[in-house]
Amino acid sequence: MTMQPRERSSELYEEALAHIVGGVNSPSRSFKAVGGGAPVFMERAKGAHFWDVDGNQYVDYLAAYGPIITGHAHPHVTQAIVKAAENGTLYGTPTALEIKLARMLKEAIPSMDKVRFVNSGTEAVMTTIRVARAYTKRNKIIKFAGCYHGHSDLVLVAAGSGPSTLGIPDSAGIPKSIAHEVITVPFNDLDSLKEALERWGEDVAAVMVEPIVGNFGMVMPKEGFLEGLCKLTREYGALVIYDEVISAFRFHYGSAQTYHAFPDHAAIEPDLTALGKIIGGGLPIGAYGGRKHVMEQVAPLGPAYQAGTMAGNPASISAGIACLEVLQEPGIYERMEAQAMKLVEGIQAGADRCGIPMTINRIRGAFSTHFCSHPVTNYDEAQGSDAELFGAYFRHMLDQGICLAPSRFEAWFLTTAHSEEDIDRTIEASNESFRRMAIK
Ligand code: PMP
């Protein structure tokens, strides 16, 4: 496939810089972490493909950082959105649709007795912390280095993919007094968690974790890590919060806490769960939920306030329901997994042939490519990968019509729309990228 120079993208980027801060509406969309320059301006997307403003076609593995699991403009999801729009996009009253999606979430994630819809993953996580603080009447939280939980003040400390590639460990504008309420420990390290709890446990409201990490690459918890985390946390009277904004419905029809790789689901159930991304089928959404007695802290029942003009809007909720309906079709996750396996095998073989260090972490239909020869099980190890090699690979792939996230810490996501031809085209492009990198 011949690609045109991305001239129109460059022009639009110049224009965007004059009006939108940094030219982008989310820093992770900039190319800062892969050597700079104009990001690609996309015009249209369908299935597993993007078309940019210069007429180039791309195979998409960004999937909008996770939500687009059924591919772009899936007919069932699109119809649901159109129908919602025709019936009015926002009422400011309850609807039956919200009950339907809440039921679907509860059936798939039984630790959530009660649910509340919000507008983003950030909001969902932020509120779980407020609820945990209200419930425990304590202030501190423990999080894991490199896990990203959105951009609310408390969790923007040692916060994974976006901020870490930008070299902003703690964002400016967050008072030190707030950062003092957050304790960060390494992922997959129960001893460090235990030490932190021994020292601060009486003041800890919650331990927050991505039970399967998606923000310093895809990283599985080691055997017994989640069980140990839940047990230790509860010994100190704190709550367990799972941030499943990426992981819910990504690996199977359910969430990490119900994933079949973990044999004892009862031992790893959290008190609160934050959701987002996939559950909105590509429209803005977030949700949080948990045990009834904990969720009863939330207004109007309890003293913890949380509200939202846009929350539970019929368009997002309808898209979410439609997306989950598609994901209930048999064989969906198996197919994405088979494609990811084939891709990973092809990418790894190409890297090996060219002597390029490559560690790939794959969890079903999602994986991360780390340019290093050591395993990646925590943030330090992820940071030990080669940023320049990733940047070069990213650009060679883009120039051949393969769209990855512009960060070495983000995952590749398969969708239900990727075809065998897409996979073959991607492996070919990957081989060619490694050849170009090896020559250089
Ligand atoms: N939690 C996790 C695990 C995430 O990956 C993200 C976003 N990448 C968020 C929370 C924040 O979600 P949002 O961008 O919708 O606010």
Residues 37 and 185 in one domain: no
SS3 of residue 94 by DSSP: coil
Looking at the DSSP bridge assignments, the partners of residue 304 are 298
292 flagged as catalytic = no
For residue 213, which of 188, 183, 241 has the smallest C-alpha distance? 188
**Structure-block tokens of residue 14:** 């110049």
* Domain residue limits at 53: 7-60+331-439
The Cα 121–Cα 275 span in angstroms is: 6
Domain end among 301, 327, 353: 327
Residue 343 has pLDDT above 50, yes or no: yes
Active-site pick, 13, 58, 61, 148 = 148
Under 8 Å CB-to-CB from 72, ≥6 apart: which residues? 45, 46, 47, 48, 49, 50, 60, 282, 417
DSSP of 310-374, one letter per residue? Answer: STT-HHHHHHHHHHHHHHTSTTHHHHHHHHHHHHHHHHHHHHHHTT---EEEEETTEEEEESSSS
With contact defined as beta carbons under 8 Å apart, do 59 and 426 qualify? yes
Do 92 and 54 lie in one domain? The reply is no
Q: Which helix (H) or strand (E) holds 78?
A: helix 75-86
**What mean pLDDT is reported for the chain?**
95
Of 293, 327, 361, the residue at which a domain comes to its end is 327
Check whether residue 311 and residue 354 sit in a common domain: no
Nearest residue (by CA) to ligand 1, atom 9, is: 150
Whether residues 30 and 160 fall in one domain: no
The three-state secondary structure class of 304 is strand
**Are 164 and 206 within one domain?**
yes
Query: Is residue 149 in contact with ligand 1, taking CB distance under 6 Å?
Result: yes
Q: Is residue 67 part of a domain?
A: no
Question: What are 137-195's pLDDT values in tens digits?
Answer: 999 999 999 999 999 998 887 665 555 444 344 688 888 888 889 999 999 999 999 99
Percent of the chain's residues with pLDDT above 90: 92
Question: Catalytic: which of 32, 140, 143, 277?
Answer: 277
**Whether residue 281 is found in the same domain as residue 388:** no
Q: How far apart are CA 66 and CA 60, in angstroms?
A: 11
Question: Does residue 135 sit in the same domain as residue 280?
Answer: yes
Domain total of the chain = 2
Mean pLDDT of 123-149: 96
Q: Quick check: is 68 in a domain?
A: no
pLDDT in tens, 400-436: 999 999 999 999 999 999 999 999 999 999 999 999 9
d(C-alpha 64, C-alpha 55), whole Å: 20
Beta carbons within 8 Å of 204's beta carbon, 6+ residues apart: 136, 138, 140, 141, 142, 183, 196, 197, 233, 236, 238
CATH of the domain at 404: 3.90.1150.10
What tens digit of pLDDT does each residue of 255-298 get? 999 999 998 999 999 999 999 999 999 999 999 999 999 999 99
Is the overall model pTM greater than 0.90, yes or no? yes
Rounded to whole angstroms, the Cα distance separating 183 from 232 reads 15
**Once rounded to an integer, what is the mean pLDDT over residues 67-95?**
98
Pairing of strands 140-144, 182-185: parallel
| DSSP string covering 157-207 | BS--HHHHHTT-SB-TTS-HHHHTTEEEE-TT-HHHHHHHHHHHGGGEEEE
* Ligand 1 center from residue 401 Cα (angstroms): 27
The CATH number linked to 220 is 3.40.640.10
Do 90 and 20 share a domain, yes or no?
no
My answer on whether 304 and 380 are in the same domain is no
Q: Are residues 222 and 278 in the same domain?
A: yes
Average pLDDT over residues 297-320: 98
pLDDT of the residue at 175: 84
Q: How confident is the model at residue 102 (pLDDT cuts 50, 70, 90)?
A: very high
Q: Residue 169 has what pLDDT? A: 47
Q: What angle do CA 298, 127, 115 make, to 5 degrees?
A: 60
Which residues does 428 contact at the CB level (< 8 Å), separation at least 6? none
Which residues touch 345 (CB under 8 Å, ≥6 apart)?
none
Residue 165 is predicted with a pLDDT of 47
> Does the structure show a pLDDT above 90 at 209?
yes
Q: Which atom of ligand 1 is nearest to the CA of 284?
A: 15
Among 327, 346, 368, residue at a domain's last position: 327
Q: How far is the CA of 269 from the centre of ligand 1 (A)?
A: 20
